[in-house]
Structures are given as structure tokens and as C-alpha cells.
Amino acid sequence: MSRGECRPDRVPLYLVPRVTADEINRHGRAIREIHIVRTRCHFYTVTTVTGKGAAGHD
């Protein structure tokens, strides 16, 4: 499958940069989109959409 999503649990505001960095380290260049959505009480969900790497781009 060329596209996938990884949905971590809700995280507090102060952990959003850390969770985002972890997702980038985990998936690397396969990342196509990262969505950060506020839920409640300063909690957020971080959704990572991955896909195949683009040919010819290093």
C-alpha cells in the first residue's frame, strides 16, 4: 500500500514538538503529511501520513 497513517494518542501541548520529531525520525523521507489537531484542554492528536518516496529526489 502506498499510503499509510499512524495515529498516536492525544498528547499535551508541550509534547507536540517531541512527538513530531519522533514521527520524523521513525518514518523519515516516507512522510507526506503531518496533521496536528487540537482536541480538548490543550491536548492534540498528531497524525502522520506516509507514502512511497518520490523517484529521483535525494
pLDDT tens-digit map of 1-53: 345 655 557 899 999 999 999 999 999 889 999 999 999 888 999 999 988 65
Give the Å distances, CA to CA, from 31 to 11, 18, 35, 37, 53: 20, 16, 11, 17, 8
Predicted TM-score of the model (pTM): 0.70
Q: What local confidence, expressed as pLDDT, does residue 33 receive? A: 93
Higher local confidence (pLDDT), 6 or 56: 6
Domain coordinates in residue numbering, the chain: 3-51
- Secondary structure letter of residue 9 according to DSSP: -
